[in-house]
Amino acid sequence: MNIKTHLGTICIGALAGSLVACPGPEPEAFDCDAQEAAFQASFADDGVLLPEIPDSNSFPMALALSELGINNLLTGVVGGNVPFASDLDLGLIKINFVPVAAPTISIVKVPNCTKCVLFHVDFSFQIKTGDDPGGAGIGGADVVIPLRLQQNDDGSSSLVAGYEAARVDNMVLNAMGFEINDIDHPNVQGLFEILITEGLQKQFGTTELLRFAPWAIGGNQVKVAARKFAIYHDTKVIVLGMQTNLDLPRSASLQIGGALPMGIPMEVQMHPGLLLAMSQRMITEGEISRNYNDKGAPDPDGLYGVTLESMAPNNIPNSNQLEVGFRVWRTEEGYCGYADAITTLQLDLSEEDAISVTPTDELRVTGGEGIGEIAATDQELVNKNKNLIETFKRDLSEQVGITVNYKELAVEGSTILFDTLALRVDRSKINIDIDFQVVANEG
């Protein structure tokens, strides 16, 4: 009888709990003390948290807004009270503006402001001096609105519109056939732009558009914050690069600034390395079990252990699957070791308007050491530990689902209603296309 086959039959039985020892001298690779030490060392650096969220130019996560998205935010947050859609008090006179068409916000290059958007509106207006009418007409104007990132005391971060520094440009007023413009009446036009700029700054002030809260996952120790804000004029997107206090490798970095699909207001983008680190953190926190007993049930004193080794999109186009590499360890009761295995998780859009993550039946052993090396030849380790593996896959799927469904976005005084439109998983990025509405809270 081939000695390896003999050892495989007896020792895999030990792995299943039916035998506790194998005859003959114990090879060094099966030594349980050595395997326990290797097991403990293998996850020592998994799920480590940094003291602070780092300032870095590489980002594992990003939120991108198209022109449509920034329109939804700016008009939704302040409701109908947008520039030139309300009464404006200029001191001695009041002007009532009424848009004659929907205002538009454009992502275009603005002189002397690299982080501004351009608000344009065509309107009718009526001037009042006290209670007396003082004229009426039509016109149009641009408002240059600076955007900026704000770090909050509670650990969250906000995208804000700096109306307190907004300015009115390119105003044209036509009253009873008399047009005020920058060519024929530059001084008069300039005076109106100054007065209306001052009125808008006073009326609106700083306005929060989006607030990014920490993840509501595990023990809530993992943080995420927007750390970089950039406007990409060529692709017409605004991108907020988001960083985390998870200790990530430099390779877990997105390429940001690409155009969004037509008609998509918002896209959440995640590097697969972020999902791996978050999942490893959830094992560290105990949301996913590290140890299991011989029945495959979670047990902190169990003789089996699991470590998560890799997580990345597979090579099948349009499959929306993540390939997961994990290691099953046996560290007690003689003839120890580990086996490496691979499975896949399926990502889809659910009927509940969320991203579902479900384990698949795919499972294969790719190698191992000690008893796991023997198991790798006939997959006996998998067959004898099916309950353990099913529990691990189920819990892992749940935590990955919580991570990819990040919607910890809020606006003070309003509710954001999300509608997940599409999901795309490629080799370097998970893209989640989202539509949304901003609804003012009652009261």
Supply the pLDDT for residue 79.
60
Question: In angstroms, rounded to a whole number, what is the distance separating the alpha carbons of residues 380 and 333?
Answer: 18
Supply the pLDDT for residue 184.
52
- Answer for the pair 289, 306: CB distance below 8 angstroms, yes or no: yes
286: left (phi over 0), alpha (psi -120 to 50) or beta: left
Burial letters for 386-422: b for 16+ Cβ neighbours within 10 Å, e otherwise? Answer: eebbebbbebbbbbbbbbbbbeebbbeebebebebbe
Supply the pLDDT for residue 359.
96
Supply the pLDDT for residue 3.
30
Secondary structure letter of residue 56 according to DSSP: -
Confidence of residue 298 (pLDDT cuts 50, 70, 90): very high
Please choose, from the candidates 429, 439, 414, 178, the residue with its C-alpha nearest in 3D space to the C-alpha of residue 320: 429
pLDDT digits (tens, 9 = 90+) for 145-173: 999 999 888 888 899 989 899 998 888 87
Total Cβ atoms within 10 A of residue 232: 15
For residue 6, is pLDDT > 60? no
Q: What 3-state DSSP class applies to 107?
A: coil
Supply the pLDDT for residue 382.
64
Confidence of residue 30 (pLDDT cuts 50, 70, 90): confident
Indicate the burial class of 181 (C-beta count within 10 angstroms; 0-12, 13-18, 19 or more): middle
How high is the mean pLDDT of the chain? Answer: 83
Supply the pLDDT for residue 12.
35
- 234 compared with 103, residue with greater pLDDT: 234
- 12 compared with 55, residue with greater pLDDT: 55
Supply the pLDDT for residue 355.
93
HSE on the CB side for 47, CA within 13 Å?
Answer: 21
Do the bridges between strand 87-89 and strand 61-66 make them parallel or antiparallel, or are there none, so unpaired?
A: unpaired
How far, in whole angstroms, is CA 7 from its chain's centroid? 48
Q: What 3-state DSSP class applies to 371?
A: helix
HSE on the CB side for 111, CA within 13 Å?
Answer: 2
Tell me the one-letter amino acid at 60: P
CA torsion sign, 281 to 287 to 288 to 289? positive
Least confident of 138-147, 367-376, 428-437: 367-376
For residue 104, is pLDDT > 80? yes
pLDDT digits (tens, 9 = 90+) for 122-133: 988 888 776 766
Q: What 3-state DSSP class applies to 286?
A: coil
Angle, alpha carbons 213-219-225 (nearest 5°): 25
